[in-house]
Amino acid sequence: MSFIESEERRALRKAVGELGKKYGYAWFNQQARTGGHTTELWLEAGKLGYLGVNLPEQYGGGGGGIADLSIVLEELGAAGCPLLMMVVSPSICGTVIARFGTDEQKQRWLPGLADGTTIMAFAITEPDAGSNSHEITTTARRTEDGWSLTGRKVFISGLDVAEAVLVVGRTEDARTGKLKPALFVVPVDAPGVEFTRIEMDLISPDKQFALFLDDVRLPREALVGSEDAALLQLFAGLNPERIMASAFAIGIARHALGKATAYVKDRQVWKTPIGAHQGLAHPLAQIKIELELARLMLQKAAALYDAGDDLAAGEAANMAKYAAGEVAVRATDQAVQSLGGNGMTTEYGVASLVAAARATRIAPVSREMILNFVAQHSLGLPKSY
Ligand SMILES: Cc1cc2nc3c(=O)[nH]c(=O)nc-3n(C[C@H](O)[C@H](O)[C@H](O)COP(=O)(O)OP(=O)(O)OC[C@H]3O[C@@H](n4cnc5c(N)ncnc54)[C@H](O)[C@@H]3O)c2cc1C
């Protein structure tokens, strides 16, 4: 790992940043407020090779790693277009299929995930299990020619734009006890699949849904990887998710900080721009430092993951997600404060970032569960729950 980003990655940042600016927050916010989607940007990013930058070249990807994909999401977010489905479709789903799928599954799904013409959602959260994924009850029963899947999921992002959803369940013979997750690709239009929108107080073009799976009949090849691969296979997808969630949060934080900085340089109510007052300058400087620290942790997590060290990447990805979520919350709040009344207007588009930033403290893994992880695994403290 080098602290100096390669020329190739700097060029990627620049090119993606330019694409993001072409659309910008005004467009993104308009899509969110009118029930629109980000399809135009998504497909353009896919066509340019940005969405599949981490996927194998042989299946239409760029042959890079999660470090490259995180650059794409961070830069789009910094330009005002944080594409939530990037945390899911090319990262969790693309990675899991690329690492554990059969040749047929790779051929079937990866080219579309890479060029953006296919979006795959991801479903692990259940109403009764919540943060305790060991308690999930979505169950796959063997049938003559495949599987029957039954269960319920909540807060699943992007089912309205997805062609399929990667569902985390358990097989019938591993119904109780420690989770042995089994992953299934489920087409969203399969008989027995229903989903309904959950109204969220989030201004975002990406929506969340409750998913109902009622005796959904799937072919044998819907199972990705081994049904006995246990948690390692699941974490091969969850670590990229955490790394990408960090990039999502850092992108939003950068966008908010950029807006706040530009405003306080210009706005004058005494004899100098308000940015000269340390009451405003110091919190913004502090956010800049915390942002750089969070990004360093993201880069470490991505470097470990791309080097194949899943275990060390797990700890680093948790820490990166913690740091990124915290700075996103602080950056958006301080941006609102810096703009005063304008911080609450639709025109300046700052208060509308607050809830999205707030969500990064909860999803995909909450701040408290990360602190539990670090307390137990990094510090060796006893488990309280
Ligand atoms: C915008 C958004 C998009 C999402 N998209 C998806 C998606 O696409 N797919 C998907 O599967 N899920 C998705 N989720 C769900 C998300 O991953 C969960 O909300 C999250 O994991 C927390 O689970 P929960 O909501 O059930 O909270 P709970 O588990 O009920 O937790 C509630 C609170 O209790 C705390 N808590 C729980 N247990 C402990 C403990 N042992 N110690 C200390 N504190 C504890 C938590 O930290 C949290 O603060 C999304 C959520 C949001 C908000």
Question: Which pLDDT belongs to residue 231?
Answer: 77
Q: Which sign, positive or negative, has the C-alpha torsion 153, 157, 160, 164?
A: negative
Residue 363 in contact with ligand 1 by CB distance below 6 A: yes
For residue 182, what are its two tokens? 């089994």
367 CA → ligand 1 middle, Å: 9
Question: Which pLDDT belongs to residue 175?
Answer: 63
Beta-ladder partners of 212: 152, 194
Residue 157 in contact with ligand 1 by CB distance below 6 A: yes
Question: Which pLDDT belongs to residue 2?
Answer: 79
Q: Which of 131, 135, 201, 208 to mutate to test the pocket of ligand 1 (most atoms within 8 A of CB)?
A: 131
- pLDDT block averages, 10 residues each, the chain of length 385: 90 98 97 97 98 98 98 98 98 96 97 98 97 93 95 98 96 72 95 98 97 98 84 86 98 98 98 98 98 98 96 96 98 98 97 97 98 97 94
Q: What is the pLDDT of residues 116-162, one digit of tens each?
A: 999 999 999 999 999 998 899 999 999 999 999 999 999 999 999 99
206 CA → ligand 1 middle, Å: 17
Distances (CA, A) of 27 to 30, 161, 268: 5, 19, 29
Question: Which pLDDT belongs to residue 200?
Answer: 97
Question: Which pLDDT belongs to residue 237?
Answer: 86
Residue 362 in contact with ligand 1 by CB distance below 6 A: yes
The protein residue with its alpha carbon nearest to ligand 1, atom 1, reads 359
Q: How high is the mean pLDDT of the chain? A: 96
- Tell which CATH architecture fits domain 7-119: Orthogonal Bundle (1.10)
366 CA → ligand 1 middle, Å: 6
Measured distance CA(242)–CA(342) in Å, rounded: 33
- 3-state secondary structure (DSSP) of residue 214: strand
The protein residue with its alpha carbon nearest to ligand 1, atom 45, reads 368
Structure-derived torsion over alpha carbons of residues 317, 319, 323, 326, reported in degrees to the nearest 10? 100
Question: Which pLDDT belongs to residue 226?
Answer: 85
For residue 38, what are its two tokens? 């980000």
The protein residue with its alpha carbon nearest to ligand 1, atom 36, reads 368
Question: Which pLDDT belongs to residue 41?
Answer: 98
Which letter does DSSP use for residue 92 in this model?
A: I
For residue 11, what are its two tokens? 């060029």
Q: Classify the phi-psi angles of 131: left when phi > 0, otherwise alpha if psi is within -120 to 50, otherwise beta.
A: alpha
Residue 123 in contact with ligand 1 by CB distance below 6 A: yes
Question: Which of these, 126, 124, 125, 121, lies nearest to 206 by C-alpha position?
Answer: 121
Q: Domain ranges for the chain, please list them.
A: 7-119, 121-224, 230-378
User: Within 13 Å and on the Cβ side, how many CA atoms surround 201?
Assistant: 4
Q: What is the pLDDT of residues 271-314, one digit of tens each?
A: 999 999 999 999 999 999 999 999 999 999 999 999 999 999 99
Pick the CATH number of 121-224 from 3.40.50.2000, 1.20.1560.10, 3.10.20.30, 2.40.110.10: 2.40.110.10
**Is the distance from CB of 300 to CB of 1 less than 8 angstroms?**
yes
CB-count burial class (<10 Å; 0-12, 13-18, 19+) for 14: exposed
Q: Which of 234, 241, 362 to mutate to test the pocket of ligand 1 (most atoms within 8 A of CB)?
A: 362
Q: Which of 88, 89, 125, 242 to mutate to test the pocket of ligand 1 (most atoms within 8 A of CB)?
A: 125
Question: Which pLDDT belongs to residue 230?
Answer: 63
Which H helix or E strand runs over 122? strand 120-123
User: Within 13 Å and on the Cβ side, how many CA atoms surround 76?
Assistant: 28
Residue with tokens 């910008």: 24
Question: Which of these, 286, 271, 290, 295, lies nearest to 337 by C-alpha position?
Answer: 286
Please, which residues have CB within 8 angstroms of residue 272's CB and are 6 or more apart in sequence?
A: none
Pick the CATH number of 230-378 from 1.20.140.10, 3.40.50.970, 3.40.190.10, 1.10.3720.10: 1.20.140.10
- 3-state secondary structure (DSSP) of residue 200: coil
The protein residue with its alpha carbon nearest to ligand 1, atom 37, reads 131
Residue with tokens 């700890």: 315
Residue with tokens 């081994």: 226
Question: Which pLDDT belongs to residue 180?
Answer: 79
Residue 235 in contact with ligand 1 by CB distance below 6 A: no
CB-count burial class (<10 Å; 0-12, 13-18, 19+) for 212: middle
Residue with tokens 């690709």: 185
